[in-house]
């Protein structure tokens, strides 16, 4: 005779906790944890399940593991590894018919692991802190750029071509009197991809916006810290960022990951002012799409063919990936990838921390790009762009492409 | 991937583990208690034992070596794909070795001329159709879980799906199988030629729930994409009008590619997820698809529209394009997961009744659920008479599990009383094993067991599933531990 | 459907098959030589005929195995349905006989092999017991599929007594065309034709469905209307991969896209050793005394 369990959360046999070992209080909401009905529809949308085929590397499996530990099972190295291997792309959330808040459960689990399972060693924590220190970050970045040119950086680091000099982001607008908007500049993007900010500011100005920059206090959105489970660090960065962009003006973001993080301040800080701040945040494409008609005509004899790579935090978290197409379709031929927005493997710091898995995940994206036939790929997230470029993909930010096209237009 | 290969802990079968590591590789043999725990489940509520070991072979040879190691140690084994089974088919009993086939996920070859593909068992159902889409070919069986279930799992449970109404279930689409038999030897069953010699062992293997061996390579038939497709959504103010439409269409000489029905509760949860414009005030909606050559499809659409209207359909909506069609289907295929919007737990049933008894059995299902104070959602393959009553509940409510069990059994027995069968596509697994006696005599079951024993005299392959024990003469299977607290 | 008690016909059959001496089930003897001739001394057993249950809205029919294909066609034809078991000599051939032999008709290309039309089988085993498998519904995954085992088993595992078959709507138009078009190219150009036959020079094509569709497909084929299928060579039958048909020479009629080749002489059949051992194991297990159709072997031509 067999049994039916009361819910999908429990497993049969001997409780694993009977075997001793480290316990960990995950502090997860029991209702949220119970939402998963184990249907498995998330599995094919999970990049790490796609490359490993392992339940423990899938959203359903990770939730089952959280449930075991929440029930009192001892944590193991395998548990920590399965949690750490999640890219936090949240593709599973879009696929989930039951609306399981997987991203939240994973962030909270990692936070618990930081305090109770020696997760995030000191060197990692220092790395995340660095992101909030723009001057140090810029200095180190310049040194790295120099070292790169001298051939001193090992190739296996797979770093992109780092810039030695950075352009100046134009403020305001040529005519003045436009709609005042903040352009959030961020950390790594500002250090390595300043040109994209320059392009973005130019396009905003042409579309009737008056660009304001937040300055060094809004040094980092805190996304990477919160993904790492360093909630305290993330909160400090969030408060500084909010402080740096006061008022009512919309906050435009050209990095999908940062945009998603800023939009989540309402939940992270949980104050009315944080909620109000989050409501002001817009992905640049969402702001731009209805204003495209204000731009000078960008008629090209031969519109360029580009494949759109949807950053996960634009498609699955902000769910604002369609405006990118609206913007692009006015001056380029847009080709869709056939992988239903599966993650590329970048995942913020993931590609540095787990390079083998990140590369394996990327292989699927590269295959989809090859199938699309497009020679150029656009990505609205710096992390994805760097990760894909490191594999030889010709990748551009949509705003860089647009700015270039506007420049070429007489 | 970095993963410390731990020494076997206390109570673990260390000699077996060593053999399995030699048969595969150390990092693909897992004994971590948490890792084993999550392989103790599938998408059903059935509970078994924890597996002793979880193994991830990457080649057919490794599968054979793993099975041979199990034979040497007298250890049962269970093959597992994506774990979307709904009857506990791959839930481990008897502390077996769980052999996960998901890393065997290559499409080995596609012959567009012959319309055949050889695939490994871990290939996802929908991935195969995506793989062959550019050739204008697809794999017809389309279970609702098709984006995640594996072809190997489909073979094990002889999976159905909406489009099996016209094209038949998995068995009709599998031409040949290369299998590892339960003793670890290799054989090919069936063939790419139309009439392989001897008994139809291929046909017997499909649907045998992993008890006759493990398929490591599968030759499937591919079908040409139809030149014309029409998808209709009809909505009704009562369920029986929808069911009568189904019967009348079939009696009118038409077998559409698919005929799916959803009741009011289903429509509400699905619409909240997909926003496809399903009418949320309807008592039932019928999703019908016609495929084929243009004149035939047009005639079918006319017949269905007319039949629906005669039965009181409020609206008949024809999907304008592929985007609308995909949206309508997405709602249907995600229906079960979306039920979590009603309650955190569900128990999904699967029975088949003669089409003409659909209304009568549906009414019984509503009556039974109401009597047990349970919310029921019906999403089902109406054209096949394949019912999927889904009981939604919150397991934290005191005593609710007893109601769920009781209602479930009543529903199954009501289906049998109407001349139906135990399962249309989920299989028997653990869930319905002990109900087999309601459908088959001791002699019938003994004959089935005789067949099983020809393949697996030692009873190592997925033991204690499908056939109630003891199932008659010649039961050589070792007694396996089955947890107490019975279903039925 | 699926009554819990057996009919008098079935109980009578079980008694007739009995438990001891060798028996050979007899249908219409239209494919008598397949698998070898029954050994001397085997007692002949006939099965009664008749349609037992037929509900057009179910599209299933239950009948006794001795029912001839013609009787079956008449029974379901009135409601505009058919069971596509289109084998030769329908007045003589019985349902039980053609299922035991397991060979499909020439419209397999569209309708699939006959094994896919069988939903349920009740047979008498070597111990004289009535065994039921499958059921009355189109979809059914309830236990091991003994129906599949019986189809093509040549009566060596049991005597088929009663079957449940799946019906299909009769096409509104069914027409044959012939000419010299390349049959392999036709197969990829046309959508789901019912049959393509080829003798090395002439191609025959069967199209079925809505008249407008049939007409359009016929135009596309470039063939001209003609009388039914050609006479098929008797005495041999080969089972080839469809792509291997291209290399055929001599006297033959091949089913393109299917791989069945009608020949005038028998050809040997092959099977791998492990599979053969399994086949023998099954025979041994189901019929330890070898009393069911002695002399015949399912894996011989």
Question: pLDDT per residue over B14-42, tens digit each?
Answer: 999 999 999 999 999 999 999 999 999 99
For A236, other C-beta atoms within 10 Å of its C-beta total 16
pLDDT above 90 coverage of chain B, percent: 78
C135-174 pLDDT per residue, tens? 999 899 989 999 999 999 999 999 999 999 999 999 999 9
- Residue closest to B199 by CA, chosen among B212, B216, B180, B183: B212
Token pair for B128? 């195969």
Q: Which of B253, B354, B455 is facing C80, going by the closest CB pair?
A: B253
Q: Which domain holds residue A352?
A: 296-408
Structural domain includes residue A2: no
Q: Does residue A11 form part of some domain?
A: no
Tell me how crowded residue B400 is: count the other CB atoms within 10 A of its CB: 19
Half-sphere exposure of B480 (CA within 13 A, CB side): 30
In-domain check, residue A170? yes
Determine, for residues B43 and A38 on separate chains, whether the beta-carbon distance falls below 8 Å: yes
Contact A402, A331 (CB under 8 A): yes
Chain C residues with CB-CB distance to B444 below 8 A: 131-133, 143
Distance of alpha carbon C196 from alpha carbon C194, whole angstroms: 7
Task: Give the gap in angstroms from C-alpha A156 to the nearest C-alpha of chain B.
Answer: 17
What is the average per-residue pLDDT within B114-136?
97
Q: How far apart are the first and last CA of chain B?
A: 44
Same domain, A208 and A332: no
Indicate yes or no: CB of C191 within 8 angstroms of CB of B439.
Answer: no
Instruction: Give pLDDT, residue C300.
Output: 75
From A238, A268, A288, the end of a domain falls on A288
Residues A334 and A354 in one domain: yes
Report the chain B residue with the minimal C-alpha distance to residue A355: B1
Judgement on whether residues A281 and A304 belong to the same structural domain of the protein = no
Contact A53 B102 (CB under 8 A): yes
Check whether B471 has a pLDDT greater than 60. no
What is the per-residue pLDDT for C301? 62
Q: Which residues pair with A3 in a beta bridge?
A: B47
Q: Which residues of C touch B255 (CB under 8 A)?
A: 59, 168-169
Q: How far does B238 lie from chain A, in Å, by closest CA? A: 26
Domains, chain C, with CATH or none: 8-169 (3.30.465.10), 173-263 (no CATH)
Measured between beta carbons, the chain B residues lying within 8 angstroms of C192 are: 224, 292
pLDDT at C3: 43
In a shared domain, residues A334 and A276: no
Same domain for A309 and A200? no
For residue A212, the tally of other CB atoms under 10 A from its CB is 16
- B2 is written with which tokens? 């970095």
Structural domain tally of chain A?
3
- What residue of C is the nearest CA neighbor of B293? C213
Between C116, C239, C243, which is nearest B196 by CB?
A: C239
Domain boundary among A288, A323, A352: A288
Q: What does DSSP assign to residue C245?
A: G
Q: Can the peptide bond before residue B470 be classed as cis, meaning omega within 30 degrees of 0?
A: yes
The count of residues in chain B is 488
88-117 of C, contacting B, C-beta below 8 A? 102-104, 108, 112-113, 115-116
Residues A112, A142: one domain? no
Average pLDDT of the residues in B383-390: 92
Q: Give residue for tokens 């069986």.
A: B141
Tell me what percent of chain C is helix, strand and coil, each rounded to the nearest 5: 25, 25, 50
pLDDT attached to residue B266: 92
Three-state secondary-structure class, residue C261: strand
Strand B386-387 and strand B351-352: pairing? Answer: antiparallel
Beta-carbon neighbour count of residue C227 at 10 Å? 8
Residue A383 sits in the same domain as residue A245: no
Residues A271 and A153 in one domain: yes
Q: Are C272 and B187 in contact (CB under 8 A)?
A: yes
Task: Please indicate whether, in this complex, the C-beta atoms of A11 and B38 are within 8 angstroms of each other.
Answer: yes
Over its length of 410 residues, how does chain A's per-residue pLDDT go in tens digits? 344 554 444 443 333 344 457 889 999 999 899 888 888 999 999 999 999 999 999 999 999 999 999 999 999 999 999 999 999 999 999 999 888 999 999 999 999 999 887 788 888 888 888 888 877 877 887 888 878 787 777 766 666 677 777 778 887 766 667 899 999 999 888 888 889 999 999 999 999 999 999 988 888 999 999 999 999 999 999 999 999 999 999 999 999 999 999 999 999 999 999 999 999 999 999 999 999 999 988 766 678 999 999 999 999 999 999 999 999 998 999 999 999 999 999 998 899 899 999 999 999 999 999 999 999 999 999 999 999 999 999 999 999 999 999 988 76
Provide the sign of the torsion angle of the four alpha carbons B400, B94, B57, B459, taken in this order.
negative
CA distance B289 to B259: 7
Q: Please count the other Cβ atoms lying within 10 Å of the Cβ belonging to residue A404.
A: 15
Domain's final residue, options A242, A271, A288: A288
Among chain C residues, the shortest Cα distance to B180 is held by: C274
CA distance B276 to chain C (A): 29
Q: Kindly give the pairing relationship between strand A332-336 and strand A304-309.
A: parallel
pLDDT over 70 at B478, yes or no: no
- pLDDT bucket at B483, cuts 50 / 70 / 90: very low
Cβ pair A4:B405 closer than 8 A: yes
DSSP C54-78: EETTTTEEEEETT-BHHHHHHHHHT
pLDDT at A152: 76
- Does the beta carbon of B85 lie under 8 angstroms from any beta carbon of chain C? no
Check contact C-A (3+ Cβ pairs < 8 Å): no
Q: Which of A1, A81, A97 lies nearest to residue B338, judging by beta carbons? A: A97
Q: Which two tokens stand for residue A90?
A: 């949240």
Say if residue A71 is in the same domain as residue A161. no
A147 contact partners, CB below 8 Å, separation of at least 6: A153
Total CB pairs under 8 A between chain B and C: 248
* CB-CB under 8 Å, B195 with C271: no
3-state secondary structure string, chain B? CCCCCCCCCCCCCHHHHHHHHHHCCHHHEECCHHHHHHCCCCCCCEECCCCCEEECCCCHHHHHHHHHHHHHCCCCEEEECCCCCCCCCCCCCCCCEEEECCCCCCEEEEECCCCEEEECCCCEHHHHHHHHHHHCEECCCCCCCCCCCEHHHHHHHCCCCCCHHHHCCHHHHEEEEEEECCCCCEEEEECCCCCCCCCCHHHHHCCCCCCCCEEEEEEEECEECCCEEEEEEEEECCHHHHHHHHHHHHHCCCCCCEEEEEEHHHHHHHHHHHCCCCCCCCCEEEEEEEEECHHHHHHHHHHHHHHHHHCCCCEEEECCCHHHHHHHHHHHHCHHHHHHHCCCEEEECCEECCHHHHHHHHHHHHHHHHHCCCEEEEEEEHHHCEECEEEEECCCCCCHHHHHHHHHHHHHHHHHHCCCECCCCCCCCCCCHHHHHHHCCHHHHHHHHHHHHHHCCCCCECCCCCCCCCCCCCCCCCCCCCCCCCCC
The ipTM of this complex is 0.96
Chain C hits for B354, CB-CB cut-off 8 Å, are: 1, 55, 58, 60, 136-137
Tell me whether residue A125 is in a domain.
Answer: no
- The DSSP line for C80-118 is TEE-----S-TTT-BHHHHHHH----TTHHHH--GGGGE
Contacts of C161 (CB under 8 A, 6+ apart): C9, C10, C13, C14, C47, C64, C65, C96, C122, C123, C124, C130
In this structure, is residue A9 part of a structural domain?
Answer: no
Return the exposure string of B301-312: e unless at least 16 CB atoms fall within 10 Å of the residue's CB, then b.
bebbbebbeebe
Strand order in the sheet with C260-263: C224-225, C173-179, C203-209, C195-198, C253-255, C260-263, C236-239
User: In chain C, which residues have their Cβ closer than 8 Å to the Cβ of B453?
Assistant: 285
Name the neighbours of B, counting chains with at least 3 Cβ pairs within 8 A: A, C
Residues of chain B with Cβ-Cβ distance to A39 below 8 Å are 43, 84, 145, 336-337
Q: Is C49 on the interface with B (CB under 8 A)?
A: no
Within-domain flag for A340:
yes
Would you call A5 and B39 a contact, using CB atoms and an 8 Å cutoff?
A: no
In this structure, is residue A8 part of a structural domain?
Answer: no
Q: Nearest 5°: phi and psi at C57?
A: -70, -15
What does the DSSP 8-state code read for residue C132? E
In angstroms, the Cα distances linking C83 to B116, B298, C116, C159, C263 are 26, 25, 11, 21, 26
Best C144, C171, C191, C237 residue to mutate vs chain B (most B CBs within 10 Å): C144
**Closest alpha carbon within chain A to B334:** A97
The answer to whether B43 and A7 have CB atoms below 8 angstroms apart is no
Render each residue's pLDDT in chain C as its tens digit; 301 residues: 344 589 999 999 999 999 999 999 999 999 998 988 988 889 999 999 999 999 898 999 999 999 999 999 999 999 999 999 989 999 999 999 999 999 999 999 999 999 999 999 999 999 999 999 999 998 999 899 999 999 999 999 999 999 999 999 999 999 999 999 999 999 999 999 999 999 999 999 999 999 999 999 999 999 999 998 999 998 899 999 999 999 999 999 999 999 999 999 888 777 788 999 999 999 999 999 999 999 999 887 6
Distance from CA of B337 to the nearest CA of C (A): 23
Q: Collect all residues with Cβ–Cβ distance below 8 Å to C117 and sequence separation of at least 6.
A: C83, C84, C85, C111, C165, C166
CATH number, residue A99: 1.10.1060.10
Note whether B469 contacts C: Cβ–Cβ < 8 A: no
Report the C-alpha gap between C268 and A126 in whole angstroms: 76
Question: Which residues of chain B lie closer than 8 angstroms to A3, CB-CB?
Answer: 46-47, 483-487
Q: Give the count of beta carbons closer than 10 Å to the beta carbon of residue A279.
A: 13
| Closest CA–CA distance from residue B316 to any residue of chain A (Å) | 26
Q: State whether A73 and B33 contact (CB < 8 Å).
A: yes
Structural domains of chain B ordered from first start: 14-100 (3.30.43.10), 107-224 (3.30.465.10), 228-336 (3.30.70.2190), 342-417 (3.30.70.2740), 442-477 (no CATH)
By the 8 A CB rule, do C237 and C262 touch?
Answer: yes
Q: What is the mean pLDDT of chain B?
A: 90
Among candidate residues C88, C24, C96, C102, the one with its CA nearest the CA of residue C66: C96
Do the Cβ atoms of A76 and A21 come closer than 8 Å? yes
Q: What is the pLDDT of residues B63-76, one digit of tens each?
A: 999 999 999 999 99
**Averaged pLDDT for residues B44-64:** 94
Residues B110 and B107: their CA atoms lie apart, in Å, by 8
Percent of chain B topping pLDDT 70: 94
Q: Does B200 contact C149 at a Cβ distance shorter than 8 Å? A: yes
| Cβ contact B47–A12 (<8 Å) | yes
How far the first Cα of chain C sits from its last, in Å, is: 36
Name chain A's partners: 3 or more CB pairs within 8 A: B
Pair (A250, A159) in one structural domain: yes
Mean local confidence (pLDDT), B238-252: 91
Q: Do A98 and A147 reside in the same domain of the chain?
A: no
Question: How far apart are alpha carbons B210 and B212 in whole angstroms?
Answer: 6
Q: Please state, in angstroms and rounded to a whole number, the distance separating the CA atoms of residues B369 and B389.
A: 10
Structure tokens that stand for C138 in this block: 């189109």
pLDDT at B273: 84
Strand partners, B259: B288
**Is A12 among the domain residues?**
no
Q: Which residues of C touch B439 (CB under 8 A)?
A: 135, 142-143
Does residue B400 surpass a pLDDT of 80?
yes
Specify whether A167 is located in the same domain as A256.
Answer: yes
Q: Look at residue B481 in the predicted model and tell me its pLDDT.
A: 29
Helices (H), A207-308: 223-228, 231-244, 256-263, 265-269, 272-280, 284-288
Judged by CB atoms closer than 8 Å, whether chains meet at B126 and A19 is answered as no
């Amino acid at each position: 005779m067999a049994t039916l369990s009361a819910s999908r959360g429990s497993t049969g046999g001997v409780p694993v906790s009977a075997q001793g070992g480290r316990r960990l209080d995950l502090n997860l909401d029991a209702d949220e944890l119970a939402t998963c009905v184990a249907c498995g529809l998330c599995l094919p949308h999970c990049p790490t399940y796609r490359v490993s085929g392992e339940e423990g590397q899938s959203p359903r499996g990770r939730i089952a593991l959280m449930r075991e530990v929440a029930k009192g099972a001892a944590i193991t190295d395998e548990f920590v590894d399965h949690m750490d291997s999640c890219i936090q792309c949240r593709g599973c959330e879009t696929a989930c018919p039951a609306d399981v808040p997987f991203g939240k459960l994973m962030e909270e689990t990692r936070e618990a692991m930081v305090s109770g399972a020696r997760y995030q060693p000191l060197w990692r924590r220092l790395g995340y802190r660095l992101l909030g220190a723009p001057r140090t970050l810029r200095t180190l970045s310049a040194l790295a750029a120099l070292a790169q040119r001298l051939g001193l950086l090992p190739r296996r680091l797979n770093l992109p071509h780092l810039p030695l000099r950075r352009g100046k982001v134009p403020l305001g607008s040529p005519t003045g009197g436009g709609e005042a908007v903040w352009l959030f500049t961020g950390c790594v993007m500002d250090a390595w991809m300043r040109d994209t900010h320059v392009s973005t500011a130019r396009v905003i100005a042409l579309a009737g916006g008056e660009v304001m920059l937040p300055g060094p206090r809004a040094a980092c959105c805190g996304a990477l810290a919160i993904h790492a489970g360093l909630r305290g660090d993330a909160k400090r960065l969030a408060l500084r960022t909010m402080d740096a962009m006061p008022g009512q003006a919309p906050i435009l973001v050209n990095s999908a990951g940062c945009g998603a993080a800023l939009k989540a301040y309402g939940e992270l800080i949980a104050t009315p002012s944080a909620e109000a701040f989050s409501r002001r945040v817009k992905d640049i494409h969402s702001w731009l799409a209805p204003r495209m008609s204000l731009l000078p005509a960008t008629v090209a004899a031969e519109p360029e063919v580009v494949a759109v790579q949807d950053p996960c935090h634009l498609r699955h978290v902000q769910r604002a990936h369609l405006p990118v197409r609206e913007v692009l379709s006015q001056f380029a031929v847009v080709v869709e990838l056939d992988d239903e927005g599966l993650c590329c493997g970048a995942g913020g710091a993931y590609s540095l921390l787990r390079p083998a898995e990140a590369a394996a995940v990327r292989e699927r994206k590269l295959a989809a790009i090859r199938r699309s036939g497009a020679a150029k790929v656009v990505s609205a997230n710096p992390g994805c762009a760097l990760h894909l470029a490191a594999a030889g993909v010709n990748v551009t930010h949509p705003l860089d492409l647009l700015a270039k096209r506007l420049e070429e237009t007489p | 991937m970095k993963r410390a290969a731990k020494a076997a802990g206390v109570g673990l079968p260390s000699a077996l583990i060593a053999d399995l590591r030699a048969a595969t590789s150390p990092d693909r043999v897992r004994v971590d208690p948490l890792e084993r725990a999550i392989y103790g489940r599938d998408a059903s509520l059935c509970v078994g034992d924890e597996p002793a070991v979880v193994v991830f072979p990457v080649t057919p040879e490794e599968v054979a070596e793993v099975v041979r190691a199990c034979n040497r140690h007298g250890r049962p084994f269970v093959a597992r794909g994506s774990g979307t089974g709904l009857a506990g088919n791959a839930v481990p009993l008897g502390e077996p070795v769980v052999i996960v086939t998901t890393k065997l996920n290559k499409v080995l070859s596609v012959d567009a001329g012959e319309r055949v593909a050889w695939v490994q068992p871990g290939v996802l159902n929908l991935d195969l159709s995506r793989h062959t889409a550019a050739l204008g070919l697809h794999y017809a069986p389309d279970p609702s879980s098709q984006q995640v279930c594996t072809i190997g799992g489909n073979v094990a449970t002889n999976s159905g799906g909406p489009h099996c109404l016209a094209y038949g279930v998995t068995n009709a689409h599998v031409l040949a199988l290369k299998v590892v038999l339960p003793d670890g030897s290799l054989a090919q069953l069936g063939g790419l030629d139309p009439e392989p010699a001897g008994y139809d062992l291929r046909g017997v293997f499909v649907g045998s729930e992993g008890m006759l061996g493990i398929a490591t390579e599968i030759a499937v038939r591919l079908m040409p994409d139809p030149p014309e497709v029409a998808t209709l959504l009809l909505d009704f103010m009562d369920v029986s009008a929808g069911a009568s439409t189904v019967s009348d269409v079939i009696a009118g000489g038409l077998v559409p590619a698919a005929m799916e029905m959803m009741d009011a509760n289903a429509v509400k949860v699905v619409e909240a997820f997909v926003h496809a414009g399903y009418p949320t005030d309807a008592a039932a909606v019928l999703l019908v698809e016609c495929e084929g050559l243009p004149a035939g499809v047009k005639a079918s659409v006319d017949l269905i529209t007319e039949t629906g209207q005669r039965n009181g359909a409020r609206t008949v909506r024809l999907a304008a394009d592929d985007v609308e069609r995909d949206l309508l289907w997405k709602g249907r295929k995600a229906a079960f997961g979306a039920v979590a919007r009603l309650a955190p737990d569900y128990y999904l049933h699967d029975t088949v009744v003669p089409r003409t008894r659909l209304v009568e059995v549906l009414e019984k299902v509503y009556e039974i659920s109401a009597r047990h104070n349970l919310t029921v959602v019906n999403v089902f393959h109406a054209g096949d008479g394949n019912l999927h009553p889904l009981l939604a509940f919150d397991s934290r409510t005191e005593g609710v599990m007893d109601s769920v069990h009781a209602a479930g059994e009543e529903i199954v027995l009501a289906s049998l009383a109407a001349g139906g069968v135990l399962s249309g596509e989920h299989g028997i697994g653990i869930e319905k094993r002990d109900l087999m006696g309601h459908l088959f005599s001791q002699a019938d079951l003994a004959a089935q067991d005789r067949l099983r024993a020809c393949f697996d005299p030692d009873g190592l392959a997925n033991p204690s599933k499908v056939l109630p024990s003891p199932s008659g003469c010649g039961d050589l299977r070792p007694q396996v531990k089955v947890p107490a607290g019975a279903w039925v | 459907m699926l009554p819990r008690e057996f009919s008098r016909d079935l109980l009578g059959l079980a008694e007739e098959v009995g438990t001891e001496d060798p028996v050979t089930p007899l249908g219409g003897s239209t494919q008598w030589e397949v698998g070898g001739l029954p050994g001397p001394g085997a007692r002949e057993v006939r099965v009664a005929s008749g349609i037992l249950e037929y509900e057009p809205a179910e599209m299933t029919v239950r009948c006794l195995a001795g029912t001839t294909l013609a009787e079956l066609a008449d029974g379901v034809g009135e409601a505009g349905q058919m069971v596509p078991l289109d084998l030769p000599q329908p007045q003589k051939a019985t349902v039980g006989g053609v299922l035991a032999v397991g060979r499909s008709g020439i419209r397999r290309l569209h309708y699939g092999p006959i094994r896919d039309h069988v939903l349920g089988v009740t047979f008498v085993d070597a111990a004289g017991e009535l065994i039921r498998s499958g059921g009355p519904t189109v979809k059914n995954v309830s236990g091991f599929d003994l129906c599949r085992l019986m189809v093509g088993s040549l009566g060596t595992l049991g005597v088929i007594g009663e079957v449940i078959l799946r019906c299909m709507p009769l096409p509104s138009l069914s027409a044959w065309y012939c000419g010299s078009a390349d049959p392999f190219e036709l197969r990829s150009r046309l959508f789901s034709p019912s049959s393509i036959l080829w003798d090395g020079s002439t191609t025959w094509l069967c199209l079925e469905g809505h008249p407008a569709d049939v007409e359009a497909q016929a135009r596309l084929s470039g063939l001209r209307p003609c009388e039914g299928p050609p006479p098929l060579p008797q005495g041999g039958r080969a089972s080839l991969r469809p792509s291997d048909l291209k290399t055929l020479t001599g006297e033959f009629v091949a089913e393109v896209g299917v791989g069945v080749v009608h020949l005038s002489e028998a050809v040997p059949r092959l099977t791998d050793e492990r599979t053969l051992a399994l086949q023998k194991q099954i025979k041994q297990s189901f019929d330890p005394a070898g009393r069911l159709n002695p002399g015949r072997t399912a894996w011989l031509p």
